[in-house]
Every structure is written in C-alpha cells, then in structure tokens.
Amino acid sequence: MKDRILSVDIFRGMTIVLMILVNTPGTWKAVYAPLRHAQWHGYTPTDLVFPFFLFIVGTSIVFAYRNKPVNAGTYKKIVVRTLKLIGLGLFLGAFTLSFPFVKDFADIRFPGVLQRIGVVFFFASLLFLNFNYKTLIGIAIALLVGYWLIMGLVPVNGMEPTFERAPNNLANYIDVQVFGSHSYKEDYDPEGLLSTLPSIVSALLGIFTGLILVSKQAKKATLLMGIGGSFLILGYLWDLVFPINKALWSSSFVLVTAGWANLILALIYYLTDVRKISFGTIFRYAGANAIVLYFMSSFISKVLGMIKVGDTSLHGWLFDTIYVHDFMSLQMSSLLYGLTVVAFYCGLAYVLYQRKIFIKV
C-alpha cells in the first residue's frame, strides 16, 4: 500500500514481540522485575505492552476504515473479526489435552486478552465510522471521567468504594458476580467487564494518533511527542486521586500508557518515515501477522505446560535441561528461554512475510 506508514507496522510488531517475551519466561519463579506486572498500583515496562497493542489497534483502524463505506458489508466484516478474536480467546481458555479437549465448564475463563482485543476493536471501529474526531474526544473524556466517578463514588454492598484489591472494589465486585469461577483470580480479572470501558479509550487515543499520521500536518513527530508528554502529565496528576493500575485499567493508566505510546511511536516515525533510517525490520515482519503469532505462542506454551515429563512438564524439562546452569542465575536462564521463544516466532514471522503469507483474523 503506497500510503503505508512503516512506523505503525514496526510499533505493532515490537508490541507483539514484547507480549510473547513477557508471557513465556522459563519459569515464573525467576523473572526480572521489569518483565513482571506491578503487584497492584503503579506500573512496570511490562504493564505498557497490552495497552500499547490496544493503542495501535486504534491507529490501525484509521488506516483500515477511513476510506471504507459505512454500510452493512463493512459492519459485517467488523462483527466477523470481533467474533473470531473472541472465539480464539475462549478457545485458549477452554483447551486441555484431556479428551474431549475442553475443560470442565466451571474451570473455563471467559475474559482474556484476545477477548478484550475483540471487544475494543468492535466498539472503537463503530465509533470511528459513525462520529467525527470532536465527538470521539467527548466520548473518550466521558468514559474516563465516568469510570473514575463510578469507581470512586458507587458504594459496594453498603461499603465505601475503594481502588484497592478488596471486596468493595466495584470492578472486582462486578467481575466476581458476573464471572464467578470463570475469572482469572477468585477476586478479580485483569480483563474484567467494567474495566473494558476505559480500555476502549486506549484504542480511541490510538485513533487520534492515526488521524494525525494520515493528515497533512507538518512536523507530525513533534506533535505526537507533545501529545504524549501532555498525556503523561495528565495521567500522573490523575494518579493522585485515581491510582495508575493495569488490573483496573484506571483512567490515569490509560493516559500514562497512551503518553508513552505516542512518545515511542513518534521516535520510530521520525527515524523510519521522516529520516528514512532502516530500523526494526524484524518487527515489521512480526507486525504483519501479529495476532496469529500471539495466538500460536500462547497455544504452544500452554500445550508444553500440559505435557507431562516425569515430575514436570515438557516446558519445565526443556528449561531445566537446556537453560539451567550453575554459571548463570535462574533469572538469566528464564530470560534466555523467553528470548529463544521470541527468536523462534520472529523467524517464523520472517518466513511468512517473505512468502507473502498474511493470515488475517
């Protein structure tokens, strides 16, 4: 495509590679701090990865739908893609090696990463097709402020609301009531129901960035850096009353992560699309089949963890046999395992790209 913006492809691929890295350590007992999620409030580099992907989903929506007619055919494609993403996510949550290859119903997790991507894509696409950017700004502000007010003011079972991980946290409470045993944890789900509302804004902020990239604005990189810096400042100010929190997808978290996304994308845009410096080609390959690579890495990792080898799994046996050595720390061994997995999928991405195989979900 002649108007393709290279930095968007690189950013998408970089994000999916990082998603694979943080999801596949050699052992969860030894992971470097930057590759762990924050315990509750605050964030680590790992906590930026998923919102980055939703952000670039929004940016990609601009490229995919800005010239598409608003008709039944377009809506059908959006619905079909949404259902595919949700279906793949539910499959990952339900699959087991034991016949009939489906977990007991009570043990199946309903929410998940792919499910959230599907839902966010659906609503962000419909909003983009039906409203101008000024209305979208109003919707984004309303969702972020509304979520903050609901979380901070609505009592739960007669108790004062809280942003802590507790029974009177509204988002946690709703997830427990709606999903029950189908959640990630007994008391909350990081891809929960109420927190999906602000996650839609992560994609809307990506849409605004996409509109800038396809516009005739001069000095786009400078503009994106200014927007990114502004989001960071606003996010940290909001953190004083609504803490930055990935599990809750707090409004401050949305702004801070979108701020970093704009700053990093602006830098990549300046290097690749403005200065024409060859950079991050392997990430472009990964970005071309991002969802497929993520799904495959998640599925294969899950299968390796299910296959028993002695007292451990095939995953554990491979890690202990190949990567664990006296001359290096267990954290380094765990990191090397994850990097090997990443190298494999980057190699696969290269092969698919060279053969012009692009699997669209």
**Looking at residue 303, what is its pLDDT?**
95
pLDDT confidence band for 360 (50 / 70 / 90): confident
**Looking at residue 157, what is its pLDDT?**
86
> What values do phi and psi take at 41, rounded to 5?
-75, 160
Residues 6+ apart with CB under 8 A from 1: none
Residues 6+ apart with CB under 8 A from 195: 171, 247, 248, 249
What percent of the chain is modeled with pLDDT above 70?
Answer: 99
Does the pLDDT value for residue 320 go beyond 90?
yes
Average pLDDT over residues 288-303: 95
Burial of 301 (0-12, 13-18, 19+ CB in 10 A): middle
Single-letter amino acid, residue 213: L
pLDDT confidence band for 282 (50 / 70 / 90): very high
Burial of 341 (0-12, 13-18, 19+ CB in 10 A): buried
Both tokens assigned to 328: 């290096």
Looking at the chain, list the stretches that DSSP marks H as alpha helix, in order from N- to C-terminal side.
6-23, 49-65, 72-94, 113-130, 133-153, 170-179, 196-213, 220-238, 251-269, 281-288, 290-306, 314-318, 330-354
Q: Which of 349, 304, 312 is nearest to 25 (CA)?
A: 304
Query: C-alpha dihedral over 198, 203, 204, 210, to 10 degrees?
Result: 160
**Looking at residue 107, what is its pLDDT?**
85
- Note the pLDDT tens digit of each residue in 155-167: 998 899 999 999 9
**Looking at residue 3, what is its pLDDT?**
56
CA angle, corner 9, sides to 4 and 12, nearest 5? 150
Burial of 47 (0-12, 13-18, 19+ CB in 10 A): buried
43 within 8 A of 360, measured Cβ to Cβ = no
Which three-class secondary structure state does DSSP give residue 309?
A: strand
The CB density around residue 276, as the number of other CB atoms within 10 Å, is 9
Q: Within 13 Å of residue 303, how many CA atoms lie on the same side as its CB? A: 8
Average pLDDT over residues 186-213: 95
Calpha distance 338→87 (Å, rounded)? 26
Q: Which of 281, 287, 283, 296 is nearest to 341 (CA)?
A: 296
Which three-class secondary structure state does DSSP give residue 245?
A: strand
> What values do phi and psi take at 95, rounded to 5?
-70, 140
Question: For all residues of the chain together, what is the average pLDDT?
Answer: 94
Average pLDDT over residues 125-134: 96
Does the pLDDT value for residue 1 go beyond 80?
no
Q: How many residues does the chain have?
A: 361
- Note the pLDDT tens digit of each residue in 44-64: 999 999 999 999 999 999 999
Indicate the range of 2-16, 136-150, 237-251, 333-347 predicted with least confidence: 2-16
304 within 8 A of 313, measured Cβ to Cβ = yes
- Does residue 100 have a cis peptide bond before it, meaning omega lies within 30 degrees of 0? yes
Average pLDDT over residues 117-139: 97
Q: In the chain, what is the straight-line distance between the N-terminal and C-terminal CA atoms, in Å?
A: 19
Q: Within 13 Å of residue 143, how many CA atoms lie on the same side as its CB? A: 25
**Looking at residue 2, what is its pLDDT?**
45
Calpha distance 11→287 (Å, rounded)? 8
Burial of 294 (0-12, 13-18, 19+ CB in 10 A): buried
Beta bridge partners of 309: 312
Q: Which helix (H) or strand (E) holds 308?
A: strand 308-309
**Looking at residue 64, what is its pLDDT?**
93
